[in-house]
């Protein structure tokens, strides 16, 4: 049976075409996962439950980057195999243990200082474990991508995301118990991950056994730290309005903000997955070390920036016209008073897409240290503004806060990437002239 599963996952007539298709499918399903579950949950359990689920997703996504330690991009673009899969696997085991501990600490903090109920504590922790499964499976998917089989990795993800939606929503419709639905979803997701990601992973390396070489772990800790911290701070800054609402307002307000924030969240998830396929191709162009490869890389960068700008225009048009009626219908809640907030959030979502793109480029050109400066600036700004703006202006303040943070982030990352790119271009032109 296990071999048959792998055979299904690997079946394709064109690996490149399948990779792009399944990568897009995986991005779409993951982007739709929270909205679909929220749609069902609001109708079966109410806005308070939806607010609890929303902060659970925000915390889980934040802690997931502790589990991944920012190494997916590094691993996928490690075309010279500086580290073996066993090295990456060993590092992932350590980081996932740290992630589980971090989720537990956060939940205890929420219980002691923010008055989390037993239900909220349990749900937030369990959603963290659901994201732990995603973080752990990612090390297998990164290796598959490195070996040119992104299609297999994204098939595994796509099927698991669909199953999670079906199980979560199905349980809520039959027994509207938030804790029970989350427990069942985590259990099913874990089993399915073992049958797909881990099972398929054994076909791309000699052994799945992790290695815990002290030197390799330390080296990965050092090399991955800038990427980890930058991605962790990226998710923190992107979700800082949610954390501020959790600290200052109610779960019902959290739910309303989540409804109008959902299109931006979809943009965020899709951006990560759309940019994943460029990792290896961009890395190869960068590593060519000739002016032809450099010019081609710059052409791709300019083209992608124009595409995101076009998407921003389309998103703002939708938000200003049919956005709120659609969201109100989807979630069964009247959101007609939040048009300005939705447009502001959509603008912020486009800025986040730019920040994801330029942070991806920075990872490829191995300028990770500049990420720390960019995200450090934005994180300090978020800490200074978050609670103040949310307390003073509620959902409108949270929306403006998001737009400000994302604009500053996109600008600083673009500047950092272009400084490094232009410096290399200058060096290559000088070398060619000689």
pLDDT at 181 over 80: yes
Q: Which has the closest alpha carbon to 286: 411, 425, 159, 403?
A: 425
**Distance, CA of 126 to CA of 224 (rounded, Å):** 27
Q: How confident is the model at residue 269 (pLDDT cuts 50, 70, 90)?
A: low
**Average per-residue pLDDT in the chain?**
89
Contacts for 430 with CB less than 8 Å, ≥ 6 apart? none
Are 284 and 79 a contacting pair, CB within 8 Å?
Answer: yes
pLDDT for res 302? 85
Q: And the tokens for 407?
A: 């604009």
* CA separation for the pair 322, 314 (Å, rounded): 12
* pLDDT tier, 216 (very low <50, low <70, confident <90, very high otherwise): very high
Q: What is the pLDDT of residue 123?
A: 97
Position 271 scores a pLDDT of 66
Asked whether the predicted pLDDT for residue 291 surpasses 90, the reply is no
pLDDT above 90 for 72: no
- pLDDT 10s digits, 153-170: 999 999 999 999 999 999
Q: How confident is the model at residue 232 (pLDDT cuts 50, 70, 90)?
A: confident
Task: Give pLDDT, residue 252.
Answer: 92
Q: Please tell me what DSSP assigns to residue 203.
A: T
Q: Three-state SS across 297-351?
A: HHHHHHHHHHHHHHHHHHHHHHHHHHHHHHHHHHHCCCCHHHHHHHHHHHHHHHH
Q: What is the pTM of this model?
A: 0.84
Helices 251-275 and 214-248: angle between axes, nearest 10 degrees:
140
CA end-to-end distance (rounded Å), the chain: 61
Cα distances from 47 to residues 30, 56, 230, in angstroms, run 22, 14, 33
pLDDT at position 262 over 70: yes
Give the H or E element holding residue 40: helix 15-45
- Residue 86 DSSP one-character state: H
Q: Over 90: is that where the pLDDT of 268 sits? A: no
Q: Which of 191, 80, 94, 205 is nearest to 140 (CA)?
A: 205
Q: pLDDT per residue over 108-150, tens digit each? A: 999 999 999 999 999 999 999 999 999 999 999 999 998 889 9
User: What does the pLDDT read at residue 358?
Assistant: 87
pLDDT at 47: 92
d(CA 145, CA 115): 43
The pLDDT of residue 278 is 67
Give the confidence band of 96 by pLDDT, cuts at 50, 70, 90: very high
Distance CA 257, CA 396 (A): 9
Mapping DSSP onto H, E and C, the string for 110-156 reads: HHHHCCCCHHHHHHHHHHHHHHHHHHHHHHHHHHHHHCCCHHHHHHH
Give tens-digit pLDDT for 340-361.
999 999 899 888 888 888 888 8
Task: Give yes or no for residue 208 having a pLDDT over 70.
Answer: yes
With beta carbons less than 8 A apart as the criterion, state whether 43 and 193 touch: no
User: How do the residues of the chain divide into helix, strand and coil, expressed in percent and rounded to 5?
Assistant: 90, 0, 10
The pLDDT-based confidence of 254 (bands split at 50, 70, 90) is very high
If you average pLDDT over residues 25-48, what whole number do you get?
A: 91
In percent, the amount of the chain with pLDDT more than 70 equals 96
Other beta carbons within 10 angstroms of residue 407's beta carbon come to 18
pLDDT band, residue 45 (cuts 50/70/90):
very high
């Amino acid at each position: 049976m296990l071999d048959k599963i792998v055979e299904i996952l690997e079946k394709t007539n064109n690996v490149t075409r399948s990779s792009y298709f399944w990568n897009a499918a995986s991005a779409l399903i993951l982007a739709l996962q929270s909205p679909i579950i929220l749609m069902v949950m609001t109708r079966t359990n109410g806005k308070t439950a939806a607010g609890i689920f929303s902060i659970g997703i925000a915390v889980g996504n934040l802690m997931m980057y502790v589990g991944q330690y920012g190494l997916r991009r590094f691993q996928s673009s490690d075309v010279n195999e500086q580290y073996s899969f066993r090295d990456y696997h060993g590092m992932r085991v350590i980081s996932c243990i740290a992630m589980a501990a971090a989720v537990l600490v956060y939940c205890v903090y929420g219980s002691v200082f923010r008055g989390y109920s037993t239900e909220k504590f349990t749900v937030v922790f369990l959603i963290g474990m659901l994201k732990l499964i995603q973080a752990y499976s990612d090390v297998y998917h990164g290796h598959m991508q490195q070996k040119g089989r992104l299609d297999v990795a994204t098939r595994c993800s796509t099927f698991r995301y669909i199953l999670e939606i079906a199980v979560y929503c199905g349980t809520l419709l039959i027994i509207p118990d938030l804790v029970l639905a989350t427990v069942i979803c985590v259990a099913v997701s874990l089993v399915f991950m073992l049958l797909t990601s881990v099972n398929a992973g054994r076909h791309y390396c000699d052994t799945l056994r992790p290695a815990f070489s002290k030197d390799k772990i330390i080296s990965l800790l050092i090399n991955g730290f800038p990427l980890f911290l930058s991605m962790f701070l990226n998710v923190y800054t992107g979700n800082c309005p949610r954390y501020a609402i959790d600290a200052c307002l109610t779960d019902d307000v959290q739910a309303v903000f989540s409804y109008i924030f959902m299109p931006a969240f979809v943009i965020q998830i899709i951006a990560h997955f759309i940019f994943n396929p460029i990792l290896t191709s961009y890395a190869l162009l960068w590593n060519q070390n000739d002016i032809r490869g450099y010019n081609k890389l710059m052409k791709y960068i300019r083209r992608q920036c124009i595409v995101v700008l076009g998407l921003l225009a389309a998103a703002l048009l939708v938000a200003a016209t049919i956005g709120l009626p659609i969201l109100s219908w989807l979630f069964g809640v009247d959101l007609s008073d939040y048009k300005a907030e939705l447009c502001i959030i959509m603008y912020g979502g486009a800025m986040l897409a730019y920040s994801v793109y330029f942070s991806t480029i920075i990872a490829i050109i191995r300028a990770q240290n500049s990420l720390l400066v960019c995200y450090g600036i934005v994180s300090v700004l978020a800490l200074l503004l978050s609670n103040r703006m949310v307390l003073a202006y509620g959902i409108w303040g949270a929306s403006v806060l998001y737009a400000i943070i994302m604009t500053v982030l996109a600008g600083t990352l673009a500047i950092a990437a272009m400084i490094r790119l232009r410096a290399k271009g200058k060096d290559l032109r000088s070398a060619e002239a000689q």
